[in-house]
Structures are given as C-alpha cells and as structure tokens.
Chains A and B, each alone.
Chain A
Amino acid sequence: MRKFIINILAYLFPIGSVISGINCLVDPSLVYSGSKYEKEMVEMLLASKKNVTNVELNYKERVFKSLLCENYSDSVDIVVLGSSRVMCISEKYFQ
C-alpha cells in the first residue's frame, strides 16, 4: 500500500506543480497580483477622466472603488453608492 501511495504522489506532484505553476503565471483570477491591476485601472481612469474598457472580468471591484476614492484629486460633496442604476442620478438632483 505504501508503494502505491508513493507512486500516486509521484504522479500527482508534477501534475499539481504544473497546474498551479500555470495558474500562478497566467493568474486568470488576479489572485496573485495584489491590487496592481486595479491600480493601473485607476491611474488610467484618472488620467483620461473617461472610461476604461476591455478590463479583465475578474478584477476586484471593491479594491478598485476604494483606490479610486483614495486617489480622486477633486473634492466631492456627495458620494452616491449603488448599482449601475445610480448613474442615472445627476448633479441636478442635489441642486
């Protein structure tokens, strides 16, 4: 039985290593990149003041929004939180 388990591990170890290595390298879920990707998005957004498109679907939205708030240079009076529907609320509603 011991020989069998060692044999299984001899197969599982390289397979597991390759699979995790590829996942680390490609990092499709942006797990290992910290908040580097979100920082880049914020920088682009603040530089252009427009939209950032073609982003990875797996970016961490909460990190992105926090970074955006932290780095936003203009002073703000009101912050509206919510889903995309809050985009319908414009400045005129608060005047």
Chain B
Amino acid sequence: MVFNSIPFVLFFVVVFFVYWFPLKKSTKAQNVFLLVASYFFYGYADWKMLPLLMVTTAVFYFLGIGISRAKTEKAASWLRTLGVVLGVGVLLYFKYLNFFIESFANLFESMGLHTNWHTFNIIMPLGVSFFTFRLISYVIDVYNGEVEPTEDVVEFATYIAFFPCILSGPIDKPKFISQLHQKREFNYDQAVDGMRQILWGLFKKLVVADNCAVYVDNVFSTYTNQTGSTLLLAVVFYSFQLYADFSGYSDMAIGIGKLLGFRITRNFNYPFFALNMADFWRRWHMSLTTWVTDYVFTPLNFRFRRWGKTGMILAIVINMLVVGLWHEANWTYVLFGLYHGLLFVPLILSGAFMKKAKLRTNRFGLPVLKDFGRMLMTFALVLAGWIIVRSESIGMAWEYFCGMMQFGTLRSSYRFFVQPDLWPANLFIVVMLVVEWLQRSKEHGLELRLLKQYWIRYLITMIVVFSICCFGKFGENTFIYFQF
C-alpha cells in the first residue's frame, strides 16, 4: 500500500475521519487507533513480519524502563549495550547475514580454501533499517538522559510503527514520543500545508521520478551499447530520479504527519544547491545523517580526538561506510560509503568541514558565479557516487564509468535526449529545480502560506494537480528506498 495508490487513499480517509471526529477528545484513544492503523498498514504490506515488529517493540520498551530503573550505572550501561546489540543483531541477521557468508566464502575460495557454507533463505522485513534505528536510538537516548522512558507501551509502539514513516523514514528521534503524549488539536494552517506538501511529493514522484525512470532503466539495462554522453545523461537523470523519488516520499510522509497533527523530522533541504560534500550530506537524507552523526560519528570522533585531523578522517570514513552499508548489503554500497568518506578528506584538511556553507545570490536572485561553480562541482562528485549505487556490482560500475569517459558522439545522445517520451522528464526536472530554488528558504516546494491572495494559491495548486493528472506515470512504480 504505497502512498500513491487508491487503497492508501481509502485507508487514510478512514484514518483521518475516525482520528479527528469520534476520537478527537481522547489522546489515548487516538494513539491506540494510530497504533492499530499502523500495524494494519504494515501488515497489509508484510503481515508475516508483523510479529517481529511487535516483539522487538515490546523488548525495547522493557529495556527502556529497565535502564531508567536500574540501580547502578553499570546495570543501566549493560542494558543499553544489550539493546544496541539486539537492534544491530536484528539488522545483521535479516539484512547482512547472507552478504557476510557469501563475502567470506568468496574470500576463502580466492585464498584456495574450500568452504561448504551456504546462505540462508531469509526474507528481509520491510522497513527493518528504519525501525531498528529508531529502537536503537531510543535505548541510547534513555541511557544518556536525553529522553524520559515512556511508561505507555502504546505511545512507544506507535512511535516505532507510525505508518507514514515505518517503510521509508524519515527516522524520527525518540523525542517524537513527546508529541504522542500531548493533546493534539486540528490546526487548519498546518493541515493545508500538509496537503500541499503531499501534493508536491506526488508531483516529484509521479511526474519527475517515474518519467526519469523510463529513460534511466533503459540506458542502465543496455549500458554496454550506449555512447559515453548518453551514459552521462542517464546518470544525471538518475540523480534527479533518486532525489524526486525519495524526497517525494518524505514530503508525503511529513504531509500525512501534519494532517494528523505531528511534526515529522525533515529529510531533505534542497541538496542540489549544496556547495560542498559536507553541505550535501547536511541536506540529503537528513534524518539518517543526523542519526549516524549522533550515534556513530560523534562517539568515534571523541574516541579518536588525540589523533587530531587523522582521527576525524577515520571517524568520518567509518561514519560514511555505515551510511553506505545501511542502504544495502552489497559491496557497491561499501564502495559508495568509502568514496563519500574520502571526499570529506580535503574538507577536513582545509578546515572547511565544520563551517556551514552559505549560498550567496546576485541582484537577479541567482547564485553568484563562484557558488554556482561550487554547486556544479559538488553535483559532479555526487554523480560519480550514484553510478556505484545504481550498478549491480562494482564491475558494472567500473565498466559504466569507463564507458562514460569515452565520450562518444553527441548526436546519438541528443537523439536519445529528444525522444518524444522524454520531454515531460526534461521539462519537469527544470520546473522542479526552478520551484525549489525559489522556495529554498521554505520547508517544501509548495509552501504557499506567505502568498496572501487565495486565487494565486488556488491557481498554483491546480497547475500542480493537472500536471500530475496529465503527465504523471500511474502504475505500479514503487519507491526506490523501499528496498532498503
């Protein structure tokens, strides 16, 4: 049941009206209903894994209480470690076990040692990377005293399984539980903004991402027969597809949260306008980068502090390897993490790593030439990383990269580029970039609260709606990040 499907619309309409009408007066009843709806949503997608979600939730709920009631610091620390091991263990078993077995078997084979290891038939639960990160952060934050452990099991279970975020994030920190504790009033402005954010997310997903997907899938499946310039174009398109797909999902999740009276963590802050790699990772998948910064980078950086810049480089490389491996158990993602980790090295050595890059504009509202160059440079570096992500193996990534370097004729890629089916993708990528540039100080591209005239807001919204109706790809296209 993806957000852009009829079953989800029907599901959400029922949830919305039951939540705000019969249950309006009781926060507890609203929470119970949200939990039931979230489990239904998860069960609809993958009912076999619902017991796993419930059991892990129960275990971590008791661990949180155990940490807060522990009589000694050592006992609390032990329970926290147990929680982290359990969370990582679930992730390792379901996501990485087969990967490690295969990798070590291949390693031993290459060394001439024959192993009789076989992989297991393990089904990866949907959203496992997202809900285990929420569980782990809960025990750590309770131990660090950053949040009070909740005694209300419904609140805790709703935080873990909250249906807008369970399958593909954003990964909210445990502070989100306080929102479940507070009484929620229907806020008209917030709800309207939520609807617009959902609409903008739908536009990005159906009009931009799914139109780009046709071209990208075509080129990547026949990459050995394509010219270098066509391969380059396909990666550029892939970067827009990935962004529009994932940020579109995040916008829809945040918008749904707003309709239910919640503030969900922001996940993207216009990453195409990043001025360097550190700036890019502050803008891309922000909930994940904040998570790994808090629970991986900061402790490592503290531990390696005696080694100065070398320690910081080591911490950031490990941090980015975790980010890479978090996505998928594949060597391509290890390479992706390593690549991005190494891109931080010049920033750390020059001292620009901690500085927040500020985008400057000229009198026409466009970026100044120097910043525009930095944006293009960052985009080019990011593109190379996307080749690794989109490839099925490191070998394919290398072949693709080599193919791209043999630039070939522009005519063939031009022919590819001006295909009749491709013009909506070309046009709406530009539209998306222009809108997001103009709205870069706002939370999302369709935030129109400051526009005073109702008819202008109405007109803009209608244009977006009709663009979706006329140019959206309606079908069974799922979201890229569901696989993680």
Contacts from A to B (Cβ < 8 Å): 1, 3-4, 7-8, 10-11, 14-15, 18-19
Measured CB to CB, the closest approach of chain B to A93, in angstroms, equals 46
Asked if B427 is at the interface (CB within 8 A of a chain A CB), the reply is no
Q: With an 8 A cutoff between CB atoms, is B290 at the interface?
A: no
The yes or no answer to B85 lying at the interface (CB within 8 A) is: no
* Bound complex: CA A7 to CA B186 (Å): 15
Q: Is the CB of A3 within 8 A of B188?
A: yes
State whether A15 and B186 are in contact (beta carbons under 8 Å apart), knowing that A1-B20, A7-B192, A8-B195 are contacts in the complex. no
Which residues of A are found within 8 Å of B466, using beta-carbon distances?
15, 18
Other CB < 8 Å A-B pairs besides A11-B461, A15-B466, 12 of them? A1-B20, A1-B186, A4-B186, A4-B191, A7-B192, A11-B458, A14-B462, A15-B462, A15-B465, A15-B469, A18-B466, A18-B469
Question: B469 and A19: CB pair below 8 A?
Answer: yes
Taking CB atoms and an 8 Å cut-off, the chain B residues in 420-476 that contact chain A are 458, 461-462, 465-466, 469
Chain B residues with CB under 8 Å of A18's CB are 466, 469
Beta-carbon nearest neighbor of B465 in chain A: A15
Q: Do A4 and B465 touch across chains, with their CB atoms under 8 A apart?
A: no
* A interface: dominant SS: helix
Chain B 316-338: CB-based contact to A (< 8 A → 1; otherwise 0): 00000000000000000000000
Give the complex CA separation of A7 and B259 in angstroms. Answer: 14
Contact status A4-B462, CB under 8 Å: no
16 intermolecular pairs with C-beta atoms under 8 Å apart:
A1-B20, A1-B186, A1-B188, A3-B188, A4-B188, A4-B192, A7-B192, A8-B195, A10-B458, A11-B462, A11-B465, A15-B465, A15-B466, A15-B469, A18-B466, A18-B469
| List of A residues within 8 angstroms of B458 by Cβ | 10-11
Give Cα A10 to B454, complex, Å: 12
The 7 closest A-B pairs by CB, nearest first: A1-B186, A4-B191, A4-B188, A15-B465, A3-B188, A1-B20, A11-B461
Cα-based distance from A14 to B458 in the complex (angstroms): 11
Q: Bound state CA distance, A8 and B458, in angstroms?
A: 11
Bound form: Cα–Cα A15–B465 in Å: 8
In the assembled complex, which residues on chain A have CB atoms less than 8 Å from the CB atom of B192? 4, 7
